[in-house]
Amino acid sequence: MVKKSKPRLKGQKLKQKPLSNYILKTLSLNPKERYSPKQIIKKLKIDNHVDSVRIAMEDLALAGKITKLKEGKFKFKRADSNQQNQPIQETKETSDSSRFLRNDNEYIGIVDMTKSGSAYIVCEGANNDVFISAKNLNGAMNGDTVAITSWMPKGRKKPEGKVLEIIEHSSTHFLGTVRIFRNHALLMVDTAFSKLDILIPFDDLNGSEEGDKAIVKIMDWGKPGQNQFLSGTVVTNLGKADSNDIEMNAILINNGFTVDFPQEILDEADKLEAVITEDVLKERKDFRKITTFTIDPDTAKDFDDALSLQTLKNGNIEVGIHIADVTHFVKQGTELDKEAFLRSTSVYLVDRVAPMLPEKLSNELCSLRANEDKFTFSAVFEFDADYNVKKEWFGKTLIHSNRRFTYEEAQEILENGEGEYADELLLMNKIAYKLRDDKYKHGAISFEADEVKFELDENGKPIGVYVKERKDAHLLVEDFMLLANKGVAKYIDKKSGGVEIPFVYRVHDSPDPTRLQEFALFAKELGFNMNLSTPKHIATSFNNLAIESKENETLKLLEPLAIRTMAKAVYTTENIGHYGLGFDFYSHFTSPIRRYADVLAHRILYQNLSKVKRWNKASLEDQCLHISAQERKAMTAERESIKYKAVEFMMDKIGEIFEANISGMIDKGIFVQLKTSKAEGLILFSHFNESFELSESRLKAIGSKSRRILKMGDDVMVKLIDADLHSRQLEFEFLEENQLNK
């Protein structure tokens, strides 16, 4: 265990969790003393407001950690010796998870697996994600909630750890192929991270036969680390079906998402109605006569945001950002609400959406369809002649969208200056440009990974592939959504009056210094110099790289590496700002149809419009952890579906020759990315007529005989020699110049 230096608290303004921990520690070391909030401030020599300390002490009392006395003082509540002096840790049951933790170097977190089989544990309370090797995972799988112990290896800068206990499994159902053996049957499952075999007793096969596709529910997780098979029972036998539909559903199910809604949830949704009563009119501002429209993808059905525009009597411009009022229909604590939280996000695969809410809500009641009165929650901003924000207003509204635009339709109007609502669109675009400029002046980073899109036939088979191009119409909508998200978070902070109102923030930490240094060395080898002297210079360097990479294919390959140096954006009640956007305050408010974080933001904001309402912070943080974990799983599923479709697209192209760039290197070969389809595959070093040695940076490989150098970003010609849809892998052959001339 690493010895921790004693922190100096004098003059500090502690956040809620460390504040609670220090209060608990102080009272436990002085069990006979009684302390008021003011006495705690004096004892710890901290700069917190007395009300924030009182709230922390009352929360500790509610959790049974300390006792509240009549005179407004508090004392330590004696407990089992194993429970004393412990930091407050929470999972899905508030304060309950403390039973899993025994020492200060133990944490609870979510498993984030890597392709190698190792994992990083995203821990609440730890400064860094904790690395855990495959052998120390103790049977934990991607997305599981686990208790771990961590340590700092000698000579290392990052913590490592071991799973002590699996608290909650992320997935309980898996879809795979049934294999029948003499004494047993197995469900063989391919996940994004590993192959998984599940034992099925013959009595639990439910009619499944050799080669059938089936969904199995885990009934016994075995004993981790003792090489025991998981065992389960077949709940759905899909027969010999081997189709695109099965494969896409397998990606969803094996990542812990359910394909269909339970019937009772559908029944609850079907009973909901959108009725505009007198009471509804009283609580809402009526925007139905103000010009309003939506801009969405061509295939979208769930329109969760709309924009309105009007010129005020004082000459200023008012822009309304109107968001579907999901909380008007989905009431807290209902079964519908519980199901939405369980899912936490809609999952967007290449050819389908697994929605967070049933279709009755996502595509009908909540969707801001044109020419219909709709319930919305709005962020309204007043701009002066220079497009600076002068006023803002948040509240429940009614709107009536005049027009539904696709991005392509809106873009054509922006480019030509003609068409329906052209004046409104052009003015909004000017304001959006100002918002964008301000964002970059404050340190925002403009990196964007290529988004690959597929053209599919009627059976879901890819017949074309292209990279989505983001133009002004996309950026216009994005800039106004960012304004609303930032505005809501800032409003909550102002409303707090110095005493925290627990809220769901979308935070993004600054880059890890070690990763940043490594990336700067990578970039320098490819001809780009990073300035790491200050946070502002770092952001400027990243933005310059983004600009130069548009003209330089080699530098373009640095963008994914640059993104990996960044921390992952997460949901949390601890606001540290959003590094990538350059915002001190940021939340998610604009997509409640597809994100549960936004539903929580709506509820908290609404309750704090006219008065102050503080939610239990520990419970809210638990929800944030779950939502962040679900988001990571959704991203994994989405990447898997893209990879599957990329391989499927290449299936009939074996033997064809392609232009490519070297995009990565591992010990056994080089990865190449095709210039046209962006599909990626491997060329094994064993296919060359000599062995290769990788440089320490893994940016180049040197031939043992010829001393030839293959380096990241090199233009190469390759031939596709295998496309394995089952493993979702492409294999290429490197073509020498003399082979091309034959």
CATH number at residue 71: 1.10.10.10
Residue 3 has pLDDT above 60, yes or no: no
Q: Are 485 and 588 found together in one domain?
A: yes
Report the residue count for the chain: 742
Q: Say if residues 204 and 230 touch (Cβ distance below 8 Å).
A: no
Q: What is the DSSP letter of 99?
A: G
Domain count, the chain: 6
CATH code of the domain covering residue 225: 2.40.50.700
Last residue of a domain, one of 127, 146, 168: 168
Is residue 95 very low, low, confident or very high in pLDDT (cuts 50, 70, 90)?
Answer: very low
Q: Name the residue among 277, 288, 482, 428 with its Cα closest to residue 368.
A: 288
Q: How far is CA 318 from the centre of its chain?
A: 32
Going through 18-144 in order, the beta strands assigned E by DSSP cover 66-68, 74-76, 106-113, 119-123, 130-132
Across 70-74, 140-144, 605-609, least confident range:
70-74
Q: Helix, strand, coil: what percent of the chain each, to 5?
A: 35, 25, 40
Residues 272 and 362 in one domain: yes
pLDDT score for 353: 93
pLDDT of residue 224: 57
Using a 10 angstrom Cβ sphere, with 0-12 exposed, 13-18 middle and 19 or more buried, the burial of residue 508 is buried
Structural domain harbouring 154: 96-168
- Are the CB atoms for 31 and 97 separated by under 8 Å? no
Q: What is the pLDDT of residues 502-541, one digit of tens each?
A: 999 999 988 878 778 888 888 887 788 999 888 888 888 9
Average pLDDT, the chain: 87
How many CB atoms lie under 10 A from the CB of residue 315?
A: 8
In three-state secondary structure terms, 389 is strand
Sequence-distant contacts of 389-395: CB under 8 A, at least 24 apart: 389/483, 390/316, 392/487, 392/491, 394/487, 394/488, 394/491, 394/605, 394/609, 395/284, 395/285, 395/609
pLDDT at residue 663, rounded to an integer? 87
Which of these ranges, 316-320, 579-583, 725-729, has the smallest mean pLDDT? 725-729
Closest CA to 663 of 558, 733, 564: 558
- Report the SS3 class of residue 601: helix
- Please indicate, yes or no, whether residues 140 and 25 belong to a single structural domain of this protein: no
- What values do phi and psi take at 353, rounded to 5? -125, 130
DSSP letter assigned to residue 133: -
Residues 445, 533, single domain; the answer is no
Q: Is residue 261 part of a domain?
A: no
DSSP-assigned states of every residue in 603-668: HHHHHTSSS-----HHHHHHHHHHHHHHHHHHHHHHHHHHHHHHHHHHGGGTT-EEEEEEEEEETT
Same domain, 143 and 186: no
Cβ–Cβ under 8 Å, residues 344 and 627: yes
**What does pTM read for this prediction?**
0.80
Whether the per-residue pLDDT at 742 is higher than 90: the answer is no
User: Looking at the structure, do residues 314 and 275 belong to the same domain, yes or no?
Assistant: yes
**68, 185: one domain:** no
Lowest-confidence segment of 5-19, 415-429, 664-678 by average pLDDT: 5-19
Report pLDDT digits (tens) over 77-93: 765 433 333 333 333 33
Percent of all residues in the chain with a pLDDT value above 90, rounded to a whole number: 48
Domain boundary among 134, 168, 202: 168
Asked if residue 9 belongs to a domain, the reply is: no
End-to-end CA gap in the chain: 64
Instruction: Flag whether pLDDT at 7 surpasses 60.
Output: no
Give the residue-averaged pLDDT of 449-464: 88
Indicate the residue type of 131: F
Is the pLDDT at 585 greater than 50? The verdict is: yes
Identify the DSSP state of 468: P
Structure-model confidence comparison of residues 697 and 237, the more confident one:
237
* pLDDT of the residue at 615: 93
Task: Report whether pLDDT(267) > 50.
Answer: yes
The tokens describing 108, both together, are: 């609870």
For residues 724 and 228, the model is more confident at: 724
Q: Does the pLDDT at position 229 exceed 90? A: no
The structure tokens listed for 620 are: 């809210």
Ranges of H-type helices in 271-334: 278-283
Count other Cβ atoms within 10 Å, centred on residue 241: 9
Residue 481: its pLDDT value, please? Answer: 98
Identify whether residues 535 and 475 lie together within a single domain. no
| Residue 679 Cα distances to 181, 270, 652, angstroms | 37, 42, 14
Most confident range, picked from 108-117, 473-482, 575-584, 728-737: 473-482
Give the pLDDT score at 237: 87
Instruction: Give pLDDT, residue 739.
Output: 60
**Dihedral pair phi/psi, residue 718, rounded to 5°:** -135, 155
- The span from the CA of 356 to the CA of 598, in Å, is 12
Query: Is 249 within a domain?
Result: no
The backbone torsions φ and ψ at residue 244, rounded to the nearest 5 degrees and listed phi first, read -60, -40
Beta bridge partner(s), residue 660: 674, 716
What tokens appear for 580 in the block? Answer: 């990538």
Q: How confident is the model at residue 193 (pLDDT cuts 50, 70, 90)?
A: low
Instruction: State residue 172's pLDDT score.
Output: 87
Residue with tokens 């010829």: 706
Tokens found for residue 435: 């918002």
Cα separation, 232 vs 215, in Å, equals: 10
pLDDT for res 32: 78
pLDDT at residue 352, rounded to an integer? 92
Last residue of a domain, one of 242, 257, 277: 242
Same domain flag for 497 and 626? yes
pLDDT at 243: 74
On whether residue 78 sits in a domain, the answer given is yes
Measured distance CA(740)–CA(718) in Å, rounded: 10
Residue that wins the pLDDT comparison between 377 and 237: 377
The pLDDT, as a whole number, for residue 716 is: 92
Tell me what the mean pLDDT of segment 111-120 comes to: 81
Pairing relationship of beta strands 195-200 and 213-220 according to DSSP bridges? unpaired
Q: Which of 54, 60, 47, 56 is nearest to 8 (CA)?
A: 47
Instruction: Say if 405 falls within a structural domain.
Output: yes
The verdict on 315 and 371 lying in the same domain is yes
Q: Extract the tokens encoding 125.
A: 């309370």
CATH at 101: 2.40.50.140
Of 1-10, 519-528, 559-568, 603-612, least confident by mean pLDDT is 1-10
Quick check: is 344 in a domain?
A: yes
Mean pLDDT is highest, among 480-484, 523-527, 576-580, 626-630, for 480-484
The pLDDT value given to residue 89: 35
- Residue written as tokens 């990083």? 120
**To the nearest 10°, the Cα dihedral for 646, 652, 658, 661?**
20
Residue 107 lies in a domain: yes
Give the HSE-up count for residue 557: Cα atoms under 13 Å, Cβ half-sphere. Answer: 26
CB under 8 Å to 206, separation ≥6 — which residues?
A: 214, 233, 234, 235, 236, 237
Report if residue 252 sits inside a domain: no
Q: Give the Cα separation of 288 and 308 in Å (integer).
A: 10
Question: Which pLDDT value is given to residue 228?
Answer: 60
If one counts every other C-beta atom within 10 angstroms of the C-beta of residue 270, the result is 10
Task: Tell me: do 148 and 65 sit in the same domain.
Answer: no
Distance CA 168, CA 114 (A): 19
Tokens of 133: 């090797």
Q: Tell me, yes or no, whether 62 and 122 share the same domain.
A: no
pLDDT for residue 155 is more than 80: no
Q: How far, in Å, CA of 579 to CA of 380, rounded?
A: 25
User: Using one digit for the tens of pLDDT, what is the confidence trace for 42-57?
Assistant: 888 888 888 788 888 8
